[in-house]
Structure 1
Amino acid sequence: MPGGAPIFARAVKNKRQKIKGKMERMSNRIILQGKNLALNYGARRIFEHVTFIIHEGDKVGLVGPNGAGKTSLFRVLTGSEEPSEGSLSWTQGVRVGYLQQVRTPPAGQTVFAAALEELADILAMRAEISHLEQEMERPETLADEGALEKVMAEYADLVHRYEEGGGYGAEAKVRSVLRGLGFSEDDFSLPAEVLSGGQKTRLALARLLLRPYDLLMLDEPTNHLDIAATEWLEDYLRDYRGAVLVISHDRYFLDKICSRIFHLERGSLDVYPGNYSRFLQLCEEALLAQRRAYAKDQREIARMEEYIRRNKAGVNAKQARGRETLLARRARIARPVESRSLQDLKFVPQTSSAEQVLVLRDLAAAYPGRPLFSGLDLTVKRGECIAILGKNGAGKTSLFRILLGELPPAGGDVLFGLRVKPAYYAQEQEHLNGNDTLLEAIRSMRPMTEEQARTLLGRFLFRGDDVFKKVGVLSGGEKSRLVLAQLFLTGANLLLLDEPTNNLDIGAKEALEEALADFPGTLLVISHDRFFLDRLADRVLELADGRFTQYLGNYSDYRAKKAEQEGAIKEAAQRAASQGRSDEHRTGSGAGSATKVSGAAASLSDGASGGTARSKGAKLTNPWKREQALKEAESRIASLEERLKALTEALADESTYRDGEQARRTQEAYEQVRRELDDAYSQWEAVVESM
């Protein structure tokens, strides 16, 4: 090994440590500050006196009821709306990513190409590296020592920047993000324009996540994601180096990623430390304190009024008039404002069903040329809540359509119990007539007077002239509340609910949970809302690879069981791999494989502990031992550099990325060897310092 290599490595390491220290000092850097922001639409004020700060690396959830102005605030932050009052201060050079700003891929571009395009800077560096390599091989360059040195310096700097930017793992990163958001390998080659609306949104989100932004702004990012993709996104955002500001009604999601909560309601913004659960706790404590203060104030006012009433005409009239003056000047504590949400929501069956509500025997579903699932055996008892989980497109909604008689089964039997009356909450709400008014939509369910219909709609937050709105102009949240109002009128004892919490704000979700928890009938629920499932589910049916698997308990119980199973599988795989390495070592079959990816990855543990006893221990006083330790350290560095070179070549080879799993393993092996090489340099430095 060249004698100068460790010295060069130490200089690089020192430089990195200085950069890291600088970054740590800047970690509390303010990247955005809003002061007294206000937004008006004509005479209507959306919000006012909105003041906040976002620091580097912040993870902030923006919450509030539908219509509070959250998306309007986002538009102000992105510059698509000008605030009526106040100011925004951005730190110079801050890069901001917002989903609505992601452009549509060109026609004919594949899903993978559209995502990879977001790493254009990496691709440009890759092309320039190739150009410099060719330049270094030209006879003219080789003959000119000065020119060669200049090209080599440019090449070394560019390769370093390319490596630091994750250039060798660019394709692997794209595949990881696309798979994480629910795209299969087969989807990668599809033209982007043939994707469904939900898939296009997921592709846009993937492209957004691939770029390194200082602030990422996400408006309901978990819409169109199944649970697996949502959990992947949580992990990704939690480790994201930039700041994140997210609008979401997914309480589980907010708990996982947020360290602060911005609460926007009734035109004002309040900032709370902690995640969503902590926010709820602080809100409850604040509301309780307000109630107590208000009650105390009211008691004091009542006492003064009683004194004035009793003494106004008596011997103490002068004192009573003084009290009256004091009372008139008294600053009164305002009545605490309770959150406006669904009220008195209860689903009451017209009649009770038999104990055995539903039996499915060897049930199968398929579309022409496409099987969905088979072999479903299930018995549903009265009062149960069964959650149905699975990836989008797995066949969950098709199961509901079979139960409702809208789709014939491909095989098996469906048997309903006596007196079972089902009702369906459709995710797409396709049964709604866009030309009906809300009054007409409600009165079509059951004969009732206009006053009765208005009273019912009021319980679902439709008041005043809202009842004359056409269904077609309603927002997603308003349509969801209308469907719930219709469901309320069915008197059903078996509710089939397909994503019932979509488009509902958090307060409405909680009210719906309360109503369904008290429902004496039976529930079959398709949902990606894990908080909702934790509250209600008694059993979980997971649909994967065309088969249902049953888990007892709620969502948390299901996740714990899955984690236990995955841990057992991983442990078995590690044991098998360890046994394989032992066999390979005994037979010598691994010799000479340092230049192969599998050999490099398999030998990561070799030498990992070499010299560690000397690396951080006492100084070596024996000259022979010092020399021996130095040789061992340099030998280990040379070996690791050879492995790193092999893995670097593999990552630069396009064939590596034909197998997504191989690409992932190669990238992981590369990162592991880099860490070991850093450790080896540290050990070498320790030996040198002991001399």
Structure 2
Amino acid sequence: MIRLDNISKQNGHQILFIDASMGLQKGEKVGLVGPNGAGKTTLFRMITGEELPDDGQVSIDPGVTIGYFSQDVGEMSGRSAVSAVMDGAGPVSELAAEMAELEAAMADPDRMDEMDDIVARYGDVQGRFEELDGYALEGRAREVLAGLSFSEERMDGDVGSLSGGWKMRVALARILLMRPDGMLLDEPSNHLDLESLIWLEDFLKGYDGVLLMTSHDREFMNRIVGKVVEIDGGSLTTYSGNYDFYEQQRALGEKQRQAQFERQQAMLAKEIKFIERFKARASHASQVQSRVKKLEKIDRVEPPRRRQSVQFEFRQAPRSGDDVVSLKNVHKGFGSQSIYEALNFQVQRRERWCILGVNGAGKSTLLKMVAGTADPDQGSVTLGGSVKMGYFAQHSMELLDGDETVFESLEGSFPQAGQGSLRALAGCFGFSGDDIDKRCRVLSGGEKARLVMAKMLFDPPNFLVLDEPTNHLDMATKEMLIAALQDFDGTMIFVSHDRHFLAALSNRVLELTPDGVRQYGGGYTEYVASTGSEAPGLHPAG
């Protein structure tokens, strides 16, 4: 269906592709992986025709429709979410918009004299709308939006008033409703809560076109793709299997390549030693000559390119008391909506609580009360003795000073620390070389999240309060963070929609439900086993 043959592409001085090829067939679900800046978005844009390769050819079978979801969402205000989603389906949405205008005109007393024409036009438009199965389309649009956690009110409200994350969902819903022959999804799992993520997973499993997607969510990727294409050093390499299988194969390939490289290096060293030793002796001249020729003809094995993976190690945090935080008879509401009523909740040393609940259940509010940035309306929140807290809030990244460089930002937080240890800290969180001199205002969401995390973990707290810490992180940084937090000796309470993160780090679950709060003694894995589902909104209240 889609083929890239011997593609070459350069952006400025950066070479993205050299003679790279890949093919995508109907029914295949493919994950696109590679380090940041390797050219994943450029590849998508070449398939859609928004960019052309410098050399080589992109071919798509005639008649194949392509839907592309990117992180750049266009302007959508002035319409409801439902009509913005139906827009993706072409003429039906235009007819729906005209019907809405005509309905308003029929109810307008100032237009009584035009009524015959309006009613006649309405009949024509409605007839055409029905022919195109328009009513079913609206139902399907609402179904997709509901799957992405939209309430009825939000579906019918103006898209312009939605936050960036919700607008992303509208753009995604548009592609899903379109059901094109080929879907290109760039980070569709960003900005989704757990329920929406699991719904999207099921939707994509049932999609019968060709799917090419990137995602920083390991679990999501594993469950959907059966093939992985890796961009690395200008070439495209295809692996069959899911993400875990790709990682194993890649590691195995690197190991074999390293062994091959070392064997060749040993052989070359031996030959060179012989040449050096006997080159001055006439009796060995022919042997020396033949070995020199042999060396010239040998294809040199390149060592595998090392992926930079730096481990962050926690310095030992001072020990806290056994009672870390205690919430007693806590009431909290917004306007007429009550979120907590008489909540009693206790966190003990070394417990790792993950907080689960549907959108709007009060997960972030609970963390804010624990962190002291929001007060309960009634009741008390008390921190225990010797507790030193680190709080990662969803808006933490907005608090960085845009004019400071990464290094100045770290230095401002830790004036006593030496340059060497701050550079090492920056390196652990992916700021190497010139990255350390970037101004905070030009950092991507992922880079800002890494900088905030570096600041929080350098002077180690013994109690971590984390609100969606992995939202902007790539897979490599997530893995580093999970490994570091598994070694963390303190206490944690956190919210995340990343199932790999939840399963790896929690040993307690607090579930927020409409009927009150439930506590589970095991971690997320035990919670899934006991409730039979992966998210609160997906299992029957019992």
Structure 2 length as normaliser, TM-score? 0.85
Between 218-227 and 331-340, the greater mean CA deviation after superposition = 331-340
Q: How many residues align?
A: 507
Report sequence identity in percent.
38
Q: Distance in 2 between matches of 1:321 and 1:481?
A: 57
1:456 paired residue among 411, 419, 425 = 425
Matching residue of 2:470: 501
Matching residue of 1:373: 340
Q: Please state how far the C-alpha of 1:173 moved relative to its aligned partner.
A: 1.9
Q: Distance in 2 between matches of 1:78 and 1:216?
A: 10
Q: Write 1 or 2 for the structure with the bigger share of helix.
A: 1
2:3 paired residue among 14, 17, 33 = 33
Question: Counterpart amino acid of 1:45?
Answer: I
CA contact (8 A) 2:219 2:500 kept: yes
CA contact (8 A) 1:219 1:247 kept: yes
Q: Distance in 1 between matches of 2:212 and 2:44?
A: 9
1:119–1:473: structure 2 CA closer, same or farther, 3 Å change rule? closer
2:435 paired residue among 466, 477, 490 = 466
Q: Does 1:256 align with 2:223?
A: yes
Matching residue of 1:439: 407
Q: Distance in 2 between matches of 1:181 and 1:116?
A: 15
Matching residue of 1:662: none
Q: Does 1:90 align with 2:60?
A: yes
Q: Which protein has the larger Cα radius of gyration, Structure 1 or Structure 2?
A: 1
CA contact (8 A) 1:105 1:192 kept: yes
Give the match's secondary structure for 2:398: coil
Matching residue of 1:46: 16
Between 409-418 and 509-518, the greater mean CA deviation after superposition = 409-418
Deviations 1:643-682 (A, max 9, x none): xxxxxxxxxxxxxxxxxxxxxxxxxxxxxxxxxxxxxxxx
CA contact (8 A) 1:220 1:247 kept: yes
Q: Distance in 1 between matches of 2:67 and 2:541?
A: 42
Q: Distance in 1 between matches of 2:37 and 2:297?
A: 37
CA contact (8 A) 1:346 1:516 kept: no
CA contact (8 A) 1:58 1:244 kept: yes
1:169–1:308: structure 2 CA closer, same or farther, 3 Å change rule? same
Matching residue of 1:60: 30
Q: Please state how far the C-alpha of 1:564 moved relative to its aligned partner.
A: 7.1
Q: Please state how far the C-alpha of 1:554 moved relative to its aligned partner.
A: 3.5
Q: Does 1:513 align with 2:475?
A: no
1:430 paired residue among 390, 398, 403 = 398
Q: Please state how far the C-alpha of 1:369 moved relative to its aligned partner.
A: 3.6
Question: Counterpart amino acid of 1:405?
Answer: G
Q: Distance in 2 between matches of 1:308 and 1:382?
A: 67
Q: Please state how far the C-alpha of 1:71 moved relative to its aligned partner.
A: 1.2
Matching residue of 1:278: 245
1:517–1:565: structure 2 CA closer, same or farther, 3 Å change rule? closer
CA contact (8 A) 2:324 2:348 kept: yes
CA contact (8 A) 1:385 1:536 kept: yes
Question: Counterpart amino acid of 1:353?
Answer: S
Matching residue of 2:323: 356
Q: Does 1:402 align with 2:369?
A: yes
Which structure is higher in RCO with an 8 Å CA cutoff and minimum separation 6?
2
CA contact (8 A) 1:291 1:335 kept: yes
Q: Please state how far the C-alpha of 1:552 moved relative to its aligned partner.
A: 3.5
Question: Counterpart amino acid of 1:535?
Answer: A
1:523–1:267: structure 2 CA closer, same or farther, 3 Å change rule? farther
Q: Distance in 1 between matches of 2:394 and 2:350?
A: 23
Deviations 1:481-533 (A, max 9, x none): 21222123222111112222222221111111111111111222211111111
Question: Counterpart amino acid of 2:232?
Answer: E
1:120–1:336: structure 2 CA closer, same or farther, 3 Å change rule? closer
Structure 1 length as normaliser, TM-score? 0.67
CA contact (8 A) 1:445 1:489 kept: no
Matching residue of 2:201: 234
Q: Please state how far the C-alpha of 1:184 moved relative to its aligned partner.
A: 1.1
Question: Counterpart amino acid of 2:412?
Answer: S
Between 383-392 and 115-124, the greater mean CA deviation after superposition = 115-124
Matching residue of 1:215: 182
1:535 paired residue among 501, 504, 518 = 504
Question: Counterpart amino acid of 1:334?
Answer: E
Give the match's secondary structure for 1:497: strand
Q: Distance in 2 between matches of 1:497 and 1:412?
A: 23
Instruction: Please list, as runs of the form range in 1=range in 2, the aligned pairs for 1:65-464 lying within 5 A after superposition.
Output: 65-100=35-70, 104-105=75-76, 107=78, 109-119=79-89, 169-305=136-272, 307=274, 318=285, 319=287, 323=291, 326-327=294-295, 329-341=297-309, 343-428=310-395, 429-447=397-415, 448-464=417-433
Deviations 1:556-588 (A, max 9, x none): 33223222799xx99999xxxxxxxxxxxxxxx
Question: Counterpart amino acid of 1:547?
Answer: G
Q: Please state how far the C-alpha of 1:459 moved relative to its aligned partner.
A: 3.0
Q: Write 1 or 2 for the structure with the bigger share of strand.
A: 2
1:185–1:242: structure 2 CA closer, same or farther, 3 Å change rule? same
CA contact (8 A) 2:191 2:471 kept: no
Q: Distance in 2 between matches of 1:299 and 1:39?
A: 37
CA contact (8 A) 2:29 2:227 kept: yes
Q: Distance in 2 between matches of 1:78 and 1:117?
A: 19
CA contact (8 A) 1:389 1:526 kept: yes
Give the match's secondary structure for 1:204: helix
